[in-house]
Amino acid sequence: MTTLIVLFNLKAGVSEADYEAFAKTLDIPTVTSLKSVSDFKVYKSYGIFGSDAAPPYRYFELIHFSNVEDLVGDMGAEPKMAEIPAKFAEMADNPLFILSKEI
């Protein structure tokens, strides 16, 4: 099992409402429909525990999937996936895509 952790802020001019509508109506339903994906959640941060500092990233995604090869294959086979990366790139400011495994 692999987990993709995506950390990002929104680009200037992109509203939280617009991003969250995209996530709820297109991104999450489409990605969770892929056979290789076992879970996908999007989180909105609101603080740093024990601090008044703002979190460095406003949003993060956790996508759990079987392996990279299966995920890439499933993404290529799902027509809706063609529009998701471009739309995400319009909204997310320099996202970090971190591949990880549970220890």
CATH number, position 19:
3.30.70.100
Q: Which residues form the domain of 92?
A: 2-100
67: which DSSP letter? Answer: -
Reading the chain (103 residues) residue by residue, the pLDDT tens digits are 999 999 999 999 999 999 999 999 999 999 999 999 999 999 999 999 999 999 999 999 999 999 999 999 999 999 989 899 999 999 999 999 999 999 9
**pLDDT the model gives residue 25:** 96
Pairing type for strands 2-10 and 59-65 reads antiparallel
Tokens of 17: 């409402």
Q: How many domains does the chain have?
A: 1
Confirm whether pTM is higher than 0.85: yes
- Residue 37: CB partners within 8 Å, gap ≥ 6? 31, 63, 64, 65, 71, 74
List phi, psi (to 5°) of 51.
Answer: -145, 155
